[in-house]
A and B are shown apart, each in its own frame.
Chain A
Amino acid sequence: LPAPENFDVDGGLDRDIFDINEDLGLDLFEGDISLDGVQERNS
């Protein structure tokens, strides 16, 4: 029997930080910056 396939944590994809966040539907500033702290400070 052929050996079972290896488990690929990346699912065959080479995803950058921004791709991961985009796939999750996140709409962060510049892709991975949270502005919560800035907004709190300004208010």
Chain B
Amino acid sequence: IVGEGYRWPHTIPYVLDDSLEMNARGVILEAFERYRLKTCIDFKPWSGEANYISVFKGSGCWSSVGNQHVGKQNLSIGHNCDRTATVQHEFLHALGFFHEQSRSDRDDYVSIIWDRITPGKENNFKAYTDEETDSLNVPYDYNSVMHYSKTAFQIGSEPTIVTRISDFMDVIGQRLDFSDHDLLKLNRLYNCSSSLSFMDSCDFELENVCGMIQSSEDSADWQRVSQVPEGPESDHSNLGQCKGSGFFMHFSSSSVNVGDTAVLESRKLYPKRGFQCLQFFLYNSGHENDQLDIYIREYSGDNVNGILILVEEIKDIPLGSWQLYHVTLKVTNKFRVVFRGVRGAGDSLGGLSIDDINLSETQCPHHTWHIRNFTQYLSDPNGALFSPPFYSSKGYAFQIYMTLTNLTKIGIYFHLISGANDDQLQWPCPWQQATMTILDQNPDIRQRMSNGRSITTDPSLTSDDGTYFWDRPSKVGTEAFFPNGTQFKRSRGYGSSSFITYERLKSRDFIKGNDVYILLTVEDISHLNSTQDEPVPTSSVSDLCAFFRCENDGICLVRNGNAECRCPSGEDWWYMGKRCEKRGSRRDTIVIATSSTAAVFALMLVITLVSVYCTRKKYRKEAGSHPANTTLENQYA
């Protein structure tokens, strides 16, 4: 919309109204994260600013266009509007955008079939003049999240919008994420030159390897190559589709000795938020004992050369395929990301390769479900897939179910299953939000249009038979078996039969090298429940944990009538203390042991020296008190 008066400040004050559904609250915050990653628009809770957006649960999904300067500006996220792309769409309206097909030049790109439109709804297909709207020199965008779908306001089954290029008929109306041109327009309108949470992306296509540097404190170098005889045959960015391009970095473990290393460091990075997610693809054509260590080199005032801190050792890397990895970082000072390849014991003919690195100040997904040979399931009329079992950070066991039986679309469902912590957990499961995202494997995180759906466990939800939907799976679930024959109980699934259509699935890079990744996060969103909690029925578990908070993702357990924390730990680190508030590490133990040994040694040395000194002094004194020629042995005889 033309007019500077319609613009919002870059940080938009917002209020999440009490009327909002719990799932919608989490989805809205997720949509804000996409703005923070891809644009310079940020959001902050309203603190008295003159104008702000109040997001509430009205009837339907709607917004005004642009900043209306009315103080409280309403934006409705009603029932069934709790989808990330829907929230993005409504906020784009609020930021000043109309629909894509209402552009002044739209007739050059689409035909509106007026006699297929529901009578009385024709006004929805208005096109604006150049005086009313500005396309900001961005071409017409069939991919826009602001475009109507082809069936909008139709009276029968025939499309109301026909694209002039037929390939785009099933493209218009996507509700995945911002398109490249959505971002271009938004960033032009708001003069964006950077974003809050994006840090770096590298597909190694350019010879400068994104400013990465080879360390001198190692035995070998990472090489920029386009293929390796033992694999991979091509990079991950474009899987060898473009001749003369498609590079990745390779550490040849076959050409070095066991224990040798190659270290590759990123350029210096400047964090703003203090938490980061490192994501990359890794290929192992060496030996299963080869490993990749991820360090950070953190710079602070006292350490101009930076301190190397080991973050994660990636071992048991499967051989022969690109694998997606996520590493969570928590860095507040200037830093580099360090990739250290280590040659393990055993024969190696290849080595380790990395590609498509993305670093952003966002939360990593908690779990990754890697589905190989995905297209074989698409052609199966009985196609359905269960994920492996996973545990949420609170300790709930769950499984994802993907249905592939529909001829046009894929469904996805979240199931609670019986797990090892069930005796210590609260039932019915309260306010856990599960986010299931099919990853668009575009090399650049900013250009990804991943499709996600979230559901939230409402502890008061009941099934038709009167049982609580989210009650303990061993109570309300049905018997099921893992592939290894282990029996367990699985509760009813909760999700959507319309997760993604096959047309959209085949667009973008959802299927790459016949692999699909489903990213999973299950987190407690109880803190978003601003209204007074209603009493929640529990099956058998004490409420003691409700009043006992464990820090650092510790899990509360009830033992002998008391709440206790089970603290998380890794291979060389752990949390301890009553509430997991203290962090320990192997390095701390080594430092303590070494310094204790040194202190004891120094103390013993001092005692010895003092003893020797006193003894010598005593005998010297005694010797001085006798006459020079006295024969001592006979003095008292």
* A-chain residues with CB within 8 Å of residue B69 when the two chains form the complex: 41
A38: min CB distance to chain B, Å: 7
> In whole angstroms, what is the CA distance A1 to B477 when docked?
12
In the complex, which residues of chain A have a beta carbon less than 8 angstroms from the beta carbon of B493? 6-7
The answer to whether B60 and A21 have CB atoms under 8 Å apart is yes
User: CB distance B68 to A24 under 8 Å?
Assistant: no
Most B Cβ at <10 Å: residue of A5, A18, A24, A35: A18
**Residues on A with beta carbons closer than 8 Å to the beta carbon of B496:** 8-10
Query: Which A residues touch B497, using CB under 8 A?
Result: 8, 10, 12
Q: In the complex, what residues of B have CB within 8 A of residue A29's CB? A: 123-124
Whether A5 pairs with B492 at a CB distance below 8 angstroms is yes
A20-B81, A26-B60, A31-B124 as given contacts; A7 in contact with B492, CB under 8 Å: yes
Select which of B153, B478, B501 is within 8 A of A14 by beta carbon: B501
CB distance from B584 to the nearest CB of A (A): 43
A14 touching B492 by the CB < 8 A rule? no
CB distance from B375 to the nearest CB of A (A): 22
Specify which chain A residues have a CB less than 8 angstroms from the CB of B63 in the assembled complex. 32-34
- Known: A16-B173, A18-B152, A40-B70. Contact between A10 and B86, CB under 8 A? no
With A14-B501, A20-B81: A37-B61 Cβ-Cβ less than 8 Å: no
- Taking the closest CB of chain A, its distance from the CB of B500, in whole angstroms, is 10
Give Cα A8 to B64, complex, Å. 30
Total A-B pairs, Cβ < 8 A: 120
* Chain A proximity mask over B86-97: 1 for CB below 8 Å, otherwise 0: 100110010000
Nearest CB of A to B12, in Å:
15
What is the CB-to-nearest-CB distance from A12 to chain B, in angstroms, rounded to a whole number?
5
Q: Contacts A16-B173, A30-B126, A34-B64; is A10 near B80 (CB within 8 Å)?
A: yes
- Nearest-neighbor residue (CB-CB) of B469 within chain A: A7
Say if the beta carbon of B498 comes within 8 Å of chain A: yes
> Inside 8 A of B73's CB, which chain A residues have their CB?
37
Nearest chain B residue, comparing its CB with the CB of A8: B497
Residue B26 is within 8 A (CB to CB) of chain A in the complex:
no
B409 at the interface (CB under 8 A from A): yes
Across the interface, A38 reaches (CB within 8 A) one of B68, B126, B149, B413, namely B68
**A21-B61 contact in complex given A6-B401, A16-B173, C-beta closer than 8 Å:** yes
State A16–B86 Cα separation when bound (angstroms): 9
A14–B504 Cα distance when bound, in Å, is: 13
Q: Which B54-103 residues sit within 8 Å CB-CB of chain A?
A: 59-65, 68-70, 73-74, 76, 78, 80-81, 86, 89-90, 93, 98-99, 102
- Contact, CB under 8 Å: A9 / B65: no
B168 CB–A CB distance under 8 Å: no
B-chain residues with CB within 8 Å of residue A32 when the two chains form the complex: 60-63, 89-90, 93
Please measure, in the bound complex, the distance between the C-alpha atom of A9 and the C-alpha atom of B496, giving whole angstroms. Answer: 5
Once bound together, how far apart are the Cα atoms of A33 and B102, in whole Å? Answer: 13
Q: Are A30 and B70 in contact (CB under 8 A)?
A: no
- Out of A6, A7, A30, A40, which one reaches B99, CB within 8 Å? A30
Which chain A residue has the least Cβ–Cβ distance from B464?
Answer: A4
Known: A13-B498, A20-B60, A37-B68. Is A8-B93 also a contact (CB below 8 A)? Answer: no
Q: Does B495 contact A (CB under 8 A)?
A: yes
The answer to whether B102 and A30 have CB atoms under 8 Å apart is: yes
Q: How many residues of B contact A (CB 8 A)?
A: 51
Flag if B498 contacts A6 (CB, 8 Å): no
Q: Which residue on A lies nearest to B102, using beta carbons?
A: A30
Pairwise interchain contact B494-A17, C-beta atoms closer than 8 A: no
Tell whether, in the assembled complex, residue A33 and residue B62 are in contact, meaning their CB atoms are under 8 Å apart.
yes
Query: Do the beta carbons of B89 and A18 come within 8 Å of each other?
Result: no
With a cutoff of 8 Å between Cβ atoms, the chain A residues found around residue B152 in the complex are: 16, 18, 31
Chain A hits for B413, CB < 8 A: 6-7
Residues of B within 8 A of A38 (CB): 64-65, 68
User: Least Cβ distance of A16 to chain B in Å?
Assistant: 5
Are A20 and B98 in touch, CB under 8 angstroms? no
B62 touches A21 (CB 8 A): yes
Known: A18-B152, A38-B64. A10 touches B492 (CB 8 A): no
Closest chain-A Cβ to B23's Cβ sits at a distance in Å of 9
- B175 at the A interface (CB under 8 A): yes
| A20: chain B residues within 8 A (beta carbon) | 60-61, 78, 80-81
CA gap between A16 and B440 in the complex, in Å: 21
- Cα-based distance from A8 to B409 in the complex (angstroms): 14
Of B59, B175, B411, B455, which is within 8 A of A24 by CB?
Answer: B59
Residue of A18, A30, A33 contacting most chain B CB atoms (<10 Å): A30
In the assembled complex, which residues on chain A have CB atoms less than 8 Å from the CB atom of B90?
Answer: 17, 32
Nearest CB to that of A32 among chain B residues? B62
Q: Check A34 against B74 for contact (C-beta < 8 Å).
A: yes
Partner of A30, one of B124, B492, B498: B124
Which residues of chain A have C-beta atoms less than 8 A from B102's C-beta?
30
Q: For B89, list chain A residues within 8 Å (CB).
A: 17, 32
User: Considering only CB atoms, which chain B residue lies closest to A37 in the complex?
Assistant: B68
In the bound complex, do residue B495 and residue A28 qualify as a contact, i.e. CB atoms below 8 Å apart?
no
Q: Is the CB of B62 within 8 A of A28?
A: yes
Given A5-B492, A20-B81, CB of A31 within 8 Å of CB of B478: no
Q: Is the CB of B64 within 8 A of A33?
A: yes
Question: Are B492 and A34 neighbours in the complex by a CB distance under 8 Å?
Answer: no
Q: Which of B98, B173, B492 contacts A4 (CB 8 A)?
A: B492
A-B contact pairs, 25 of them (CB 8 A): A3-B478, A3-B480, A3-B490, A6-B495, A8-B411, A8-B496, A9-B495, A10-B80, A16-B149, A16-B173, A18-B124, A20-B60, A20-B81, A21-B60, A21-B62, A28-B60, A29-B123, A30-B99, A31-B124, A31-B152, A33-B62, A33-B64, A34-B62, A34-B63, A34-B64
Given contact pairs A36-B74, A37-B68, enumerate 20 new A-B contacts (beta carbons under 8 Å): A3-B478, A3-B492, A7-B494, A12-B498, A14-B498, A16-B149, A17-B89, A17-B175, A18-B148, A18-B149, A28-B62, A30-B98, A31-B153, A32-B89, A33-B64, A34-B62, A34-B64, A35-B64, A38-B65, A41-B70
- When A and B form their complex, which 4 residue pairs have the shortest distance between CB atoms, in order from nearest? A37-B68, A6-B493, A14-B498, A21-B60
- A-contacting residues of B (Cβ < 8 Å)? 59-65, 68-70, 73-74, 76, 78, 80-81, 86, 89-90, 93, 98-99, 102, 123-124, 126, 148-149, 151-153, 173, 175, 401, 409, 411, 413, 455, 463, 469, 478, 480, 490, 492-498, 501
